[in-house]
């Protein structure tokens, strides 16, 4: 891509607003700045768009959003009669503007748009698409990324993030468009023509009720204290509403992090997987002597959890640990109530803990493995639905703190997850157990497993290219050992392993079950390596993990 040509066009064409033209001119003073802004185009994939806010073809701004939306509109018009789209947004900088731009572009093409009038969680957008019968959905969010990012996720009419095939077709439409092709209808005109309408509050209320309907045991009422933080995002209102319907649950809101704020002033990385993100919540939990801390990310599709230990301190649970605990709780509760079907299905991603297999087996359930990305879990629910076996779906989870127990939503749901975790905590407490003790019991029963996620940031002007080069290097220099053990099984998912779609993922496994899975992030410039090891004790498993970390660092040339 000719960065100089694009920068000149953006700096001189009066289609672009004055501030954009000036910002484009400034990038021309520094070759690296110009290349970073105009040296590539923000790629559209199954996750839609995600990038750093700013001027240029490689950044998130009103013009890249408008062009992508026009491509989506043309795709819908070619495949649907009188298409409609639901749009929601989170608390990030630019989210309101991008929502309105997308709505106006769609309206200009005659596509009806349903817009949430205030910020809401991602799972509520998935629910709205299904409830309103929309043909697509747009969620303006960058999930847990730092404040300088925003994004644009696209959903199909089933409430799942779009398939690879749909993403390819939309990308083909976008590639034929220039940025100046995207015209906007005046908002007042669009509303007068009923092409833009607000989504009514009854959708929010029915979403809350659908969550509560998924409770495994609504009769549980043991008293617990929960500290909750929405991390300056969208979760406060729906989580407050759902937990407020649960008898015995006292919720203490972390007021310092309740106000929606795209700067995320108290947590620079609003990722509930990180210890530092939960530090303020844990401090409050200590003061309150709370049973658990719950922290949802900005678009409230994921939840981080910290639990009280026997020593009175707090331990952050990994996404794997929370998922395994919820899986065991739901299966056990449904079996005791006689509602667990013979062919019960639990879905997990390939990078999620293999301890799920023996737990599922103990309850007569089966595990369905899918590629990384919750859309694949949603697709399995859709397949079960088409086969008349929707009720067989019990639970889906991924190691990155995403969970789903119902079928009314087809994406991970932080609101529902908060409800499930709170109920599980109540149930365990009624049996004289803490969540921490229940986790130890799981390890004793099914084996001790250590896991770790290694994130390797990829620097450079065009980092996505460097990520691909890193993966190519891994394929060219195949590792032979892992923690001193010989690697006996190598899987390259570009070759469509185990009947799964092709994916840029490499898996290495030893005879004793040590496993390392390598993949480029789909949302950030980084390579991820997922490590797992089983041992006779937690200490042994963790020792193996530490040895595997050294191997991973060597693969990534980290000293």
Q: 306: which 2 tokens?
A: 């910290």
Label residues 384-402 b or e (16+ Cβ within 10 Å = b). beeeeeeebbbbbbbbbbb
Q: What CATH number is associated with residue 468?
A: 3.30.310.50
Please give the model's pTM, rounded to 2 decimal places: 0.95
Secondary structure E strands in 260-350:
292-296, 303-308, 314-317, 345-349
**Domain end marker among 384, 412, 446:** 446
**Domain end marker among 138, 173, 201:** 201
Give me the pLDDT at residue 468, please.
Answer: 86
Domain assignment of residue 438, given as a range: 216-446
* C-beta separation of 138 from 154 below 8 A: yes
Give me the pLDDT at residue 525, please.
Answer: 81
* Residue that the structure tokens 């899918």 belong to: 370
Mean pLDDT of 100-120: 99
Nearest to 526 by CA among 467, 486, 479, 484: 467
Answer yes or no: do 458 and 438 share one domain.
Answer: no
Residue 8 lies in a domain: no
Residue 27 lies in a domain: no
Measured at the CA of 248, the angle between CA 401 and CA 255, to 5 degrees, comes to 60
Q: Which conformational region is residue 310 in: left (phi greater than 0), alpha (psi within -120 to 50 degrees), or beta?
A: alpha
Q: How confident is the model at residue 499 (pLDDT cuts 50, 70, 90)?
A: confident
Answer yes or no: do 442 and 510 share one domain.
Answer: no
Residue 16 lies in a domain: no
Q: At residue 58, what are phi and psi to the nearest 5 degrees?
A: -100, 10
Number of separate domains in the chain? 3
pLDDT of residue 523 exceeding 80, the answer is no
- Which SS3 state, helix, strand or coil, does residue 138 take? strand
More confident residue, 210 or 470: 210
Answer yes or no: do 46 and 120 share one domain.
Answer: yes
Mean pLDDT of 485-496: 94
Answer yes or no: do 435 and 477 share one domain.
Answer: no
Q: 467: which 2 tokens?
A: 């990520």
Cβ neighbors of 220 (< 8 A, separation 6 or more) are 248, 423, 426, 427, 430
Residue 18 lies in a domain: no
Q: Beta strand 84-89 with 136-140: parallel, antiparallel or unpaired?
A: parallel
Mean pLDDT of 404-423: 98
Answer yes or no: do 304 and 186 share one domain.
Answer: no
More confident residue, 315 or 459: 315
Answer yes or no: do 185 and 317 share one domain.
Answer: no
143 belongs to the catalytic site:
yes
Cα–Cα distance, 213 to 202 (Å, whole number): 16
Q: 465: which 2 tokens?
A: 């290219």
The number of beta carbons lying within 10 Å of the beta carbon of residue 180 is 14
Give me the pLDDT at residue 381, please.
Answer: 98
* Residue that the structure tokens 């309907």 belong to: 213
List residues bridging with 153 in a β-sheet.
139
* Residue that the structure tokens 């980290």 belong to: 558
Mean pLDDT of 21-31: 97
Residue 14 lies in a domain: no
Answer yes or no: do 157 and 98 share one domain.
Answer: yes
pLDDT of residue 559 exceeding 50, the answer is no
Cα-to-chain-centroid distance, residue 530: 17
pLDDT of residue 46 exceeding 80, the answer is no
Query: What's the start-to-end Cα distance of the chain, in Å?
Result: 34
pLDDT of residue 488 exceeding 90, the answer is yes
Q: How confident is the model at residue 467 (pLDDT cuts 50, 70, 90)?
A: confident
Cα–Cα distance, 465 to 468 (Å, whole number): 5
Number of H helices, E strands in the chain: 18, 21
Nearest to 28 by CA among 52, 9, 4: 4
Give me the pLDDT at residue 461, please.
Answer: 64
Question: What proportion of the chain, given as a percentage, has pLDDT over 90?
Answer: 92
Q: Could you say which of 143, 353, 427, 532 is catalytic?
A: 143
Cα–Cα distance, 296 to 515 (Å, whole number): 29
Q: What is the DSSP letter of 163?
A: P
Nearest to 31 by CA among 3, 69, 52, 59: 3
Q: At residue 113, what are phi and psi to the nearest 5 degrees?
A: -125, 130
Answer yes or no: do 243 and 374 share one domain.
Answer: yes
Distances (CA, A) of 297 to 85, 209, 230, 270: 25, 22, 6, 6
pLDDT of residue 399 exceeding 90, the answer is yes
**Domain end marker among 409, 429, 446:** 446
Answer yes or no: do 296 and 362 share one domain.
Answer: yes
Answer yes or no: do 419 and 529 share one domain.
Answer: no
**pLDDT tens by residue, 474-485:** 998 889 999 999
Q: What is the DSSP letter of 500?
A: P
pLDDT of residue 266 exceeding 60, the answer is yes
**pLDDT tens by residue, 140-152:** 999 999 999 999 9
Cα–Cα distance, 538 to 523 (Å, whole number): 32
Residue 380 lies in a domain: yes
* C-beta separation of 544 from 514 below 8 A: yes
Cα–Cα distance, 465 to 58 (Å, whole number): 13
Q: What CATH number is associated with residue 326?
A: 3.40.120.10
Residue 103 lies in a domain: yes
Answer yes or no: do 437 and 460 share one domain.
Answer: no
Distances (CA, A) of 160 to 207, 389, 415, 537: 16, 18, 17, 39
Answer yes or no: do 302 and 347 share one domain.
Answer: yes
Residue 439 lies in a domain: yes
Cα–Cα distance, 462 to 50 (Å, whole number): 14
């Amino acid at each position: 891509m000719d960065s100089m040509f694009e920068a000149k066009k953006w700096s001189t064409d009066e289609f672009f607003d004055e501030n954009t033209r000036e910002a484009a001119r400034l990038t021309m003073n520094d070759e690296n700045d110009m290349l970073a802004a105009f040296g590539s185009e923000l790629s559209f994939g199954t996750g839609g768009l995600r990038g750093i806010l700013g001027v240029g073809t490689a950044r998130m701004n009103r013009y890249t959003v408008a062009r992508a939306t026009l491509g989506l509109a043309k795709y819908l018009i070619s495949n649907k009669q009188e298409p409609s789209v639901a749009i929601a947004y989170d608390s990030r900088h630019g989210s309101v503007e991008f929502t309105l731009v997308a709505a106006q572009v769609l309206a200009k093409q005659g596509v009806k748009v349903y817009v949430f009038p205030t910020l809401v969680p991602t799972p509520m957008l998935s629910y709205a698409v299904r409830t309103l019968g929309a043909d697509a959905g747009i969620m303006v969010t960058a999930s847990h990324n730092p404040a300088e990012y925003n994004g644009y996720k696209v959903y199909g009419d089933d409430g799942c993030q779009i398939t690879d095939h749909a993403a390819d077709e939309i990308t083909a439409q976008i590639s034929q468009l220039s940025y100046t092709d995207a015209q906007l209808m005046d908002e007042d005109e669009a509303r007068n023509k009923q092409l833009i309408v607000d989504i009514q509050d009854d959708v929010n209320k029915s979403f809350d009720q659908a969550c509560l309907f998924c409770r495994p045991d609504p009769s549980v009422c043991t008293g617990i204290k929960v500290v909750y933080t929405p991390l300056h995002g969208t979760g406060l209102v729906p989580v407050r509403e759902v937990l407020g319907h649960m008898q015995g649950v006292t919720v203490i809101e972390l007021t310092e992090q309740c106000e929606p704020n795209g700067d995320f002033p108290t947590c620079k990385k609003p990722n509930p997987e990180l210890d530092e993100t939960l530090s303020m919540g844990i401090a409050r939990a200590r003061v309150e002597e709370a049973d658990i801390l719950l922290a949802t990310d900005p678009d409230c599709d994921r939840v981080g959890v910290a639990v009280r230990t026997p020593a009175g301190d707090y331990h952050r649970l990994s996404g794997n640990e929370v998922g395994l605990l919820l899986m065991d709780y739901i299966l056990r509760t449904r079996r005791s109530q006689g509602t667990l079907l013979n062919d019960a299905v639990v879905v997990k991603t390939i990078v999620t803990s293999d301890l799920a297999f023996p737990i599922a087996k103990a309850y007569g359930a089966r595990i369905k493995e899918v590629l990384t990305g919750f859309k694949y879990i949603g697709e399995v629910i859709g397949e079960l639905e088409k086969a008349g076996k929707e009720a067989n779906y019990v639970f889906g989870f991924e190691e990155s703190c995403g969970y789903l127990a119902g079928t009314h939503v087809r994406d991970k749901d932080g609101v529902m997850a908060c409800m499930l975790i709170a109920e599980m905590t109540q149930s365990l407490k009624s049996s004289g157990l803490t969540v921490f003790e229940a986790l130890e019991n799981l390890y004793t029963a099914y084996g001790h497993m250590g896991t770790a996620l290694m994130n390797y940031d990829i620097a450079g002007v065009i980092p996505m290219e460097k990520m691909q080069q890193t993966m190519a290097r891994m394929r060219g220099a195949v590792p032979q050992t892992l923690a001193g053990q010989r690697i006996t099984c190598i899987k390259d998912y570009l070759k469509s392993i185990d009947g799964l779609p092709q994916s840029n993922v490499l898996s290495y496994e030893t005879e004793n079950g040590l496993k390392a899975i390598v993949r480029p992030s789909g949302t950030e410039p980084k390579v991820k390596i997922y490590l797992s090891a089983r041992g006779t004790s937690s200490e042994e498993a963790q020792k193996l993990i530490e040895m595997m970390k050294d191997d991973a660092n060597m693969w990534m040339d980290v000293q």
